[in-house]
Amino acid sequence: MLAKRSTVFILAITCGLAVANVYYNQPLLADIGRSFDISVQQVGSIPTLTQIGYAVGLLFLVPLGDKVERRGLIVKMLLLLACALVATALSPSITWLSVSSLILGFTSIVAHLIIPFVARMTPTAQRGKVIGTLMSGVIGSVLLARAASGLFGKMLGWQAIYWIAACLMIVLAFVIRGRLPMSKSSDKLSYQQLMQSLVHLIRQQPILREAALIIAAIFAAFNAFWVSLVFRLEAPPYYYDSQVAGLFGLVGIAGAIATPFMGRLVDKWGARVFVGLALAISFCGFVIIWIAGHHLMALILGVLILDLGMHAAYLSNQVRVYNLIPNAESRLNTVYMVTNYSGGALGSFLGTYSWATWQWNGVGAVCLSLLVLAWIVHFSGRRNVMSYIDNIKPTKNEESD
């Protein structure tokens, strides 16, 4: 069934719309702050809490895909996500909004239940093509989410995007229930054993630790920029509103389009080499944004380069992680993504805090400092990884890394 193009397309949409819920609030922060009459630092806690909730959901919910019936789990999470979206739209205070944002992030992990499910259900000959389609939906959603929320926030108020998203989640829950077959897990591990195996993976896999820390630092810098962009665009010399801030998300569409090409370069050059290239691209993007961010064309160019670097880093590090241990992709993905979104939560906090304290120079300094940290992990990790490979019998995947 999963080989049908229509089913794969529906699953890609579901993955994308589920992940999009995490990013709707970024272009709306200024509007939310005015709605509740709160400071920049206070409203900055909203994307931070959403990212924290997402990381916690990845840690405690995604491993269940190896234990319980998967179609039912996906449908239930979509319905719970709809409830969280409604609670967010109805928020009467910043406290309510903070709690609902945390729950919203926690229940938005549907894509990371679908992708391992599809990997198990798809024949090997079609697996790369199908998973690539799903990942395109995820990448595209991050870009379109900011544009959509900025547009609806400008026209209908910031709550509108959450009402629309809640309706979409309910529709998708019924569609998924009718499209996907039941899939009972044959794994007899208890939930406690599943969680303990995550700790073993972290201890035993230096490549996993390195890749996860690098992407966490890059994603932290990425989020620090995006949560502060709306405040930068409202300030001189721009005086733009949330709609324009959201449209900046469309600038990064080039990164999504370039993803298949970057995948071929990863295969040709090696994933680790491509990580270094991704770091260099990201660094260039942030330098342009920081130094010349008061010029619109320079800001657009910086965003374009930044998104290319982010997608390149995400793809190359994920290839490294998936190549480590066969039949452990879900748990490897859990460690990788939890670390990634923990970094994202930290970046959201640092972005709003640095803007409130030091304005644009503070944001630039924070972003470049995080990238320097990623460089340190990348270069120090080479020695650790080579020592690890020398002490074990190398496999083809490890050698290619």
The DSSP string of 152-220 is HHHHH-TTHHHHHHHHHHHHHHHHHHHHSPP--------HHHHHHHHHHHHHH-HHHHHHHHHHHHHHH
Q: Based on the domain organization, do 194 and 171 belong to the same domain?
A: no
Could you give the number of structural domains in the chain? 2
Q: Based on the domain organization, do 138 and 77 belong to the same domain?
A: yes
Q: What is the spatial distance between Cα 305 and Cα 287, in angstroms, rounded to a whole number? A: 10
Q: Based on the domain organization, do 371 and 234 belong to the same domain?
A: yes
Is pTM, for the whole model, over 0.85?
A: no
SS3 content of the chain, % helix, strand, coil (to 5): 85, 0, 15
Q: Based on the domain organization, do 3 and 114 belong to the same domain?
A: yes
- Residues 152, 160: contact at Cβ < 8 Å? yes
Q: What are phi and psi of 392, to 5 degrees?
A: -130, 165
Amino acid identity of residue 224, one-letter, is A
Q: What is the spatial distance between Cα 159 and Cα 264, in angstroms, rounded to a whole number? A: 41
Please give the pLDDT value at position 130: 66
Is residue 184 one of the residues assigned to a domain? no
Angle at 241 between CA 237 and CA 243, to 5 degrees: 130
Per-residue CA distances from 336 to 205, 214, 253, 293, 340 (Å) = 12, 10, 24, 32, 6
Q: What is the spatial distance between Cα 231 and Cα 356, in angstroms, rounded to a whole number? A: 9
Which of residues 122, 155, 179 is at a domain's end?
179
Is residue 73 one of the residues assigned to a domain? yes
Q: What is the spatial distance between Cα 376 and Cα 384, in angstroms, rounded to a whole number? A: 13
Please give the pLDDT value at position 55: 85
Is residue 325 one of the residues assigned to a domain? yes
Q: What is the spatial distance between Cα 31 and Cα 135, in angstroms, rounded to a whole number? A: 31
- Residue-wise pLDDT tens for the chain (401 aa)? 444 777 888 888 899 899 999 989 888 888 899 899 888 778 888 988 998 899 899 899 988 877 788 889 999 999 999 999 999 999 999 999 999 999 999 999 999 888 777 766 766 555 556 666 777 778 777 777 777 888 888 788 899 999 999 999 999 999 999 888 876 766 677 888 888 889 999 999 999 999 999 999 999 999 999 888 888 888 888 888 766 776 776 776 776 677 667 766 777 777 788 899 999 999 999 999 998 888 889 999 998 999 889 888 887 887 788 778 766 777 888 899 889 888 988 998 899 899 989 999 999 999 999 999 999 999 886 655 555 444 544 444 443 44
Q: Based on the domain organization, do 76 and 163 belong to the same domain?
A: yes
Which of residues 179, 213, 245 is at a domain's end?
179
Is residue 185 one of the residues assigned to a domain? no
Which of residues 147, 179, 211 is at a domain's end?
179
Angle at 71 between CA 68 and CA 76, to 5 degrees: 85
Q: Based on the domain organization, do 252 and 152 belong to the same domain?
A: no
Please give the pLDDT value at position 263: 67
CB atoms within 10 A of CB 92: 8
Q: Based on the domain organization, do 116 and 135 belong to the same domain?
A: yes
Instruction: Write the CATH number for 293.
Output: 1.20.1250.20
Q: Based on the domain organization, do 63 and 202 belong to the same domain?
A: no
- Residues 343, 215: contact at Cβ < 8 Å? yes
Is residue 224 one of the residues assigned to a domain? yes
Q: Based on the domain organization, do 245 and 144 belong to the same domain?
A: no
Please give the pLDDT value at position 388: 47
CB atoms within 10 A of CB 241: 17
Structure token pair of residue 362: 């503070």
Amino acid identity of residue 374, one-letter, is A
Q: Based on the domain organization, do 158 and 238 belong to the same domain?
A: no
Is residue 156 one of the residues assigned to a domain? yes
Q: Based on the domain organization, do 168 and 210 belong to the same domain?
A: no
Please give the pLDDT value at position 321: 82
Angle at 15 between CA 12 and CA 19, to 5 degrees: 140
Domain hosting 349: range is: 190-401
Burial of 102 (0-12, 13-18, 19+ CB in 10 A): buried
Is residue 120 one of the residues assigned to a domain? yes
Please give the pLDDT value at position 344: 86
Closest CA to 169 of 49, 89, 266: 89
Q: Based on the domain organization, do 135 and 237 belong to the same domain?
A: no
CB atoms within 10 A of CB 184: 10
Is residue 218 one of the residues assigned to a domain? yes
Q: What is the spatial distance between Cα 370 and Cα 302, in angstroms, rounded to a whole number? A: 17
Structure token pair of residue 358: 């030091």
CB atoms within 10 A of CB 76: 14
